[in-house]
Copies of this chain bind each other. A is one copy, B any other.
């Protein structure tokens, strides 16, 4: 929820602390199989059914870090590795696919190489925000002060069970890959945005502490306001970057306006939005408000009629059609059908899970990716 820049690009050390919620793997997940063998001729990686460049520096960082701490017999560390990963949601569309992917990879590698203890550093070396996603619940990434990043690690604030009423709606506006990769945008912001420096030194430290407190106290209103303000400020920094990075589009802005209208109409703060480096919105709200909000979303952002695509995904929900007086209070115009591709309903989850069932493996006995149709 709190995004910033990097103080060290290659080590992926952040300029500030940050907090995120890890989403339930039942709805959204990355799944990874790793396998080493004396028989493998070369390292290989497949992502979503396609072979990727194994020389990717972030991936290599990850492998280097894990081997440093490997508890396997020395000779086995030289065995070649096959990695096969897939995620059940759009990649590089501002839905934190790299955080999920690298958290999953780090966890799988730790299991394989029998690495124990905190694996924040391993996950972080692949994708900064991945270090948070190795834990469930609400997680804080402490930026640390060590030059080599030894103390730049994630710690769980509370497990998902602490705030079981918390729910998440992901409004997918586009599942296309974003034009400016987050890492490049962030680097450009570090170099050119005057606001980013102010944000790092003034806004974020205070907000992160307030956010942690709100989570511990289950103070939804404070949580929601901080979430929205921080999302907006992050995008303000992107706009203050030169040349500017704009991730949100008209539909994103409409969603933002609808949420403010809704909160105004119910004279409370019932829903928060946050936008990562993309057009898609992530809404936070409490379970009791989901049916009404889902009804409002469906009313103002209707799906295209008679389309084969599944509009509501994830957890089941019986939406409530918005009451007339609510509709009158909502100063918002009904959007043309199809502005939202689909909505995923999910909750905060418990973090990475080992799958013991051989049927779940993505690699066959010979280390070849199993073809999923």
Q: Interface residue count for A (Cβ, 8 Å)?
A: 26
Q: Which of A201-215 contact B (CB under 8 A)?
A: 202-203
Which residues of the partner chain B approach A246 to less than 8 Å between Cβ atoms? 253, 256
Q: Which of A221-263 contact B (CB under 8 A)?
A: 225, 228-229, 232-233, 235-237, 239-244, 246, 249-250, 253, 256, 260
Contacts A194-B203, A198-B194, A202-B194; is A232 near B239 (CB within 8 Å)? yes
* A136–B225 CA distance with the chains assembled, in angstroms: 45
Does A195 make an interface contact (CB < 8 A)? yes
Nearest B residue to A194 via CB reads B203
CB <8 Å contact, B249 and A232: no
When distances are taken between beta carbons in the complex, the residues of chain B under 8 Å from A229 are 242
Tell whether, in the assembled complex, residue A235 and residue B242 are in contact, meaning their CB atoms are under 8 Å apart: no
| A256-B236 contact given A198-B194, A250-B249, CB 8 Å threshold | no
CB contact between A236 and one of B239, B250, B260 (< 8 Å): that residue = B239
**How distant is the Cα of A253 from the Cα of B236 in the complex, in angstroms?**
14
Residues 61-112 (chain A) with a chain B CB within 8 angstroms:
none
Are B244 and A239 in contact, CB atoms less than 8 angstroms apart?
no
Most central of A203, A241, A246 by chain B CB within 10 Å = A246
Contact of A232 among B199, B203, B240, B250 (CB under 8 A): B240
Interface hub of A198, A228, A239, A249 (most chain B Cβ within 10 A): A239
Which residue of B195, B225, B232 is within 8 Å of A198 (Cβ)? B195
Residues of B within 8 A of A253 (CB): 246, 249
In the assembled complex, how far is the CB of residue A268 from the closest CB belonging to chain B, in whole angstroms? 14
Contact partner of A233 (CB less than 8 A), chosen from B194, B235, B250, is: B194
What is the CB-to-nearest-CB distance from A197 to chain B, in angstroms, rounded to a whole number?
A: 9
Q: Which residue of B lies closest to A246 (CB)?
A: B253
- A228 contact set on B, CB distance < 8 A: 242
A195 to B243, CA, bound (A): 19
Which B residues touch A244, using CB under 8 A? 232, 256
10 A-B pairs (CB sep. < 8 Å): A194-B233, A195-B199, A195-B233, A198-B202, A228-B242, A232-B241, A232-B242, A235-B239, A244-B256, A246-B256
Excluding A232-B241, A246-B256, 14 further A-B contacts by CB distance (< 8 Å) are: A194-B198, A194-B203, A198-B198, A225-B242, A229-B242, A232-B244, A235-B239, A236-B237, A239-B239, A243-B260, A244-B256, A246-B253, A249-B250, A250-B250
